[in-house]
A and B are shown apart, each in its own frame.
Chain A
């Protein structure tokens, strides 16, 4: 799965599972400031990533994610390592 496919699938998750508005979502969008994802929403987001991409994201790695693009890169790196 390349970054474009991951970003597309992540955008769908953000709309369908977190109820975000699609036109606000971009690579540079910050979860907290731009997308108004609160602390509970961050946990939902991590669960959605793990469930839908089959990856494991420990809390310490999750803390480094602030933008949509960083989430895409993290998932891409995990998948490239062979999951």
Chain B
């Protein structure tokens, strides 16, 4: 039996630079920042007061009122992105009989419903055990987003959840593709979500010293590869790809954006937050993805970097790209769209996969904004400030997570 091929047939996202795919992509290409002062709670007493938030998100645009109020925001954002992606793919499994057994979900989240954890702990401390919401557990568990989407859209095939910090939704996409390849499903909703805009998680991330404190210049705070970078900017959002087996997609005349051709992962085995110096851990994930795609470094025309804007990540990732790509590292354009979106944590791999897919479709590489004075240790072509029109045959996206998780995905044009 020949290898089952996996293609992308639907996209959806709700994130700080766009509440749907067209506005997200337009703003990425135009170099628009989605970062601002935190609006969802009073952050004036915290060292970090900036973030990328989804402004004016109305869950009831996608979710029946009764369900919407039962969900944590991270699930609402994932539901919205899934709704868009399924519509874009033109599939509906709500009355599909046994075909629905061949359609599933993999959701990735760095944490899960942390806003609900914080609220629940406040309640028990202030009002006692009898006032804790019966919905608290189902709001908190990270798999609830995928569970709710399966219920809402009738997806009764494989359904699982990946929790690998900021690599989570990249793993979700890679794992969903493997489920299709081993013939357990024909179509998978794959992606991730994060919503951690409340006092406790922002304070806690700030304490890791990984966040930018450029509070007075929010739009300039996420500046990957720049010498003046001082940390990442937390963001929220959901992003979803509909992955489908190639012949299944062809049989229903589906639009095909790109093929998911490579997936690689590794662990640094070094430190809970810092990358392994020299970048060998991340390089091995990239090499593994190239190997699984049967590609050489010069087959890749664009790398969407993890590029968080932390001092440690960006120089180490640069070193890792050189290890994995050799001389080709200096030829391939690399950009970090986190310069505009901020860091969607568990949603990052998916929202950046969408950027790769659309870069392939349109032949446009979105820029790294705010890159004014490159760090001498960051000496690759980072597509500074403005987008570049160039054919993209294949694109790689990197995602690395606390815990030392490294993931690389490769998409290719058809």
Q: What sequence of 0s and 1s flags, for each residue 61-74 of chain B, a beta carbon within 8 Å of any chain A beta carbon? A: 00011111110000
Q: How far is the CB of B85 from chain A (nearest CB, A)?
A: 25
- B65 lies within 8 A of A44 (CB): no
Q: How many residues of B contact A (CB 8 A)?
A: 13
- A19 lies within 8 A of B138 (CB): no
- A43 lies within 8 A of B134 (CB): yes
- A40 lies within 8 A of B66 (CB): no
B87 within 8 A of A: no
15 contacts between A and B (CB under 8 A): A18-B66, A19-B64, A19-B66, A19-B67, A19-B69, A40-B70, A40-B134, A40-B138, A43-B134, A44-B133, A44-B134, A44-B135, A47-B131, A47-B134, A51-B131
Residues of chain A contacted by B130 (CB below 8 angstroms): 47
- A19 lies within 8 A of B134 (CB): no
Name the residue on B nearest A16 (C-beta).
B69
A74 within 8 A of B: no
Name the residue on A nearest B67 (C-beta).
A19
Q: How far is the CB of B191 from chain A (nearest CB, A)?
A: 26
List B residues at the A interface (Cβ < 8 Å): 64-70, 130-131, 133-135, 138
* Contacts of A42-76 to chain B: CB distance below 8 A: 43-44, 47, 51
A13 within 8 A of B: no
Name the residue on A nearest B64 (C-beta).
A19
| Known pairs A19-B64, A19-B68, A47-B134 / 17 extra A-B pairs, C-beta < 8 Å | A18-B66, A19-B65, A19-B66, A19-B67, A19-B70, A20-B66, A40-B70, A40-B135, A40-B138, A43-B134, A44-B133, A44-B134, A44-B135, A47-B130, A47-B131, A47-B133, A51-B131
**How far is A44 from B67 in the complex, measured between Cα atoms in Å?**
14
Q: How far is the CB of A47 from chain B (nearest CB, A)?
A: 7
Name the residue on A nearest B132 (C-beta).
A47
Name the residue on B nearest A36 (C-beta).
B66
Residues of chain B contacted by A47 (CB below 8 angstroms): 130-131, 133-134
**How far is A2 from B69 in the complex, measured between Cα atoms in Å?**
30
Residues of chain B contacted by A40 (CB below 8 angstroms): 70, 134-135, 138
**How far is A47 from B135 in the complex, measured between Cα atoms in Å?**
12
**How far is A18 from B67 in the complex, measured between Cα atoms in Å?**
9
Residues of chain B contacted by A43 (CB below 8 angstroms): 134
Residues of chain B contacted by A44 (CB below 8 angstroms): 133-135
**How far is A18 from B70 in the complex, measured between Cα atoms in Å?**
9
Name the residue on A nearest B68 (C-beta).
A19
Residues of chain A contacted by B64 (CB below 8 angstroms): 19
Interface centre among B64, B131, B133, B134 (most CB of A within 10 A): B134
Q: How far is the CB of A35 from chain B (nearest CB, A)?
A: 10
Name the residue on B nearest A56 (C-beta).
B130
Residues of chain A contacted by B134 (CB below 8 angstroms): 40, 43-44, 47
**For the complex of A and B, 10 pairs with smallest distance between CB atoms:** A19-B66, A43-B134, A40-B134, A19-B65, A19-B69, A44-B134, A40-B135, A47-B131, A20-B66, A44-B135
Q: How far is the CB of A48 from chain B (nearest CB, A)?
A: 11
**How far is A18 from B65 in the complex, measured between Cα atoms in Å?**
9
Residues of chain A contacted by B69 (CB below 8 angstroms): 19
**How far is A19 from B59 in the complex, measured between Cα atoms in Å?**
13
Residues of chain B contacted by A19 (CB below 8 angstroms): 64-70
Q: What sequence of 0s and 1s flags, for each residue 3-25 of chain A, a beta carbon within 8 Å of any chain B beta carbon? A: 00000000000000011100000
Q: How far is the CB of B91 from chain A (nearest CB, A)?
A: 27
Q: How far is the CB of B58 from chain A (nearest CB, A)?
A: 15
Name the residue on A nearest B133 (C-beta).
A44
Q: How far is the CB of B120 from chain A (nearest CB, A)?
A: 13
**How far is A19 from B134 in the complex, measured between Cα atoms in Å?**
15
**How far is A19 from B70 in the complex, measured between Cα atoms in Å?**
9
Residues of chain B contacted by A51 (CB below 8 angstroms): 131
Residues of chain B contacted by A18 (CB below 8 angstroms): 66
Q: How far is the CB of A17 from chain B (nearest CB, A)?
A: 8
Name the residue on B nearest A42 (C-beta).
B134
Residues of chain A contacted by B68 (CB below 8 angstroms): 19
Q: How far is the CB of A80 from chain B (nearest CB, A)?
A: 23
**How far is A47 from B69 in the complex, measured between Cα atoms in Å?**
16
**How far is A51 from B123 in the complex, measured between Cα atoms in Å?**
13
Q: How far is the CB of B69 from chain A (nearest CB, A)?
A: 5
**How far is A51 from B131 in the complex, measured between Cα atoms in Å?**
9
**How far is A59 from B410 in the complex, measured between Cα atoms in Å?**
55
